Amino acid sequence: MPADIKITVKHELFSPPSFALMLLAWILSPYLVDAILGDLIEEFNHRSKADSQAAKRWFWQQTIHTTLIYLKKSFNSPSFIRKLNIVLPLALFILAFALIAWLSYADNLSDYAPGFWQTLLTGQAHMAFFDGAFWANLGDYIAQVDSVWFLLDSASLILALFTILLLIHLDKRSSFTPLKMACWGYSLVVLPYLWSLIHINSNHFIATEIGPIIAIGLITFLYTILPVSYLVHRKLKQQIQGTSRDKK
C-alpha cells in the first residue's frame, strides 16, 4: 500500500477496515490503486462523521463491488486465462501424481477417518484429499517412489492417445475456439475417472479388482491433463496473435 495512504488513514479518527484496504491494494493494478483507494478513503472519512459503522459497511460494499469488477476484467483477459490454463492443470497433475503414489504405496489406513475404507471401495479415491492423514503421511509415500513403473498402464495410455487424437481431429474439422477446446478437452480428461466411479458402483467387485479400475481413471487423467492444457494454450496463443493482426 502506498505510504501517503497509510499516513492519511493513521491520522483519521475512524479508519477503513484494514483487511478491505489490503484486499484492494493487492487486487488492483499499481496504476489504479492510488486513485481508487484515495477516493474511497475520502468518501469513507466523510461518511464516518455521521455513522462510523455505516461507513465501514459502505466501505466493504465498495471493496467487494470493485474487486468483482476488476476480477471480471481479469478473467476476460487472454493473458490471465493463459496463466490459469498453465497453473491449474499443473497443480492438478501434481495432485493426481500424489494420489496415485498414495494408492500404490499406502498399506495402513488405520489413521484415516472411520469408514474411509468403505469410501475407497466405492472408487472415491479423491476423498483422500479431505482427510488429514493423507497429507500427514504423503511425504512418506512419495519418499518410497523409486521408479515410474507404477505410472505405466497400457489401457490408460490407449485412452489418453485416443483423447488427444480425438481433440486434434475435432479441431481440424470445426476449428475450435479456445473456450470450446477447453470445454471438450477438460471434459474428456475427467471422463475416465467418472467412468471408473460409475463402473465400480454399478457392479459388485471384490477389493482387489477395484484398484485397477481406479488406476485407469486416475492414470488417464495424469496422461491427458498437460497435453490438453497445451492444446488450449496453443488455441489461446493463436487467438491473441489473430487479435494483434486485426488491430494492425
pLDDT 10s digits, 131-160: 888 888 888 878 888 888 889 999 999 999
Do 94 and 51 meet the contact criterion of CB atoms below 8 Å apart?
no
Tell me the C-alpha distance between 56 and 69, whole Å.
20
**Angle at 23 (CA atoms; ends 21, 25), nearest 5 degrees:** 70
pTM score, two decimals?
0.69
Percentage of residues in the chain with pLDDT exceeding 70? 90
Q: pLDDT band at residue 20, thresholds of 50, 70 and 90?
A: confident
The answer to whether the Cα torsion of 232, 234, 236, 239 is positive or negative is: negative
pLDDT 10s digits, 154-205: 999 999 999 999 999 999 988 888 889 999 999 999 999 999 999 999 998 9
Tell me the C-alpha distance between 168 and 188, whole Å.
13
Is the pLDDT assigned to residue 43 strictly greater than 70?
yes
Do 222 and 99 meet the contact criterion of CB atoms below 8 Å apart?
no
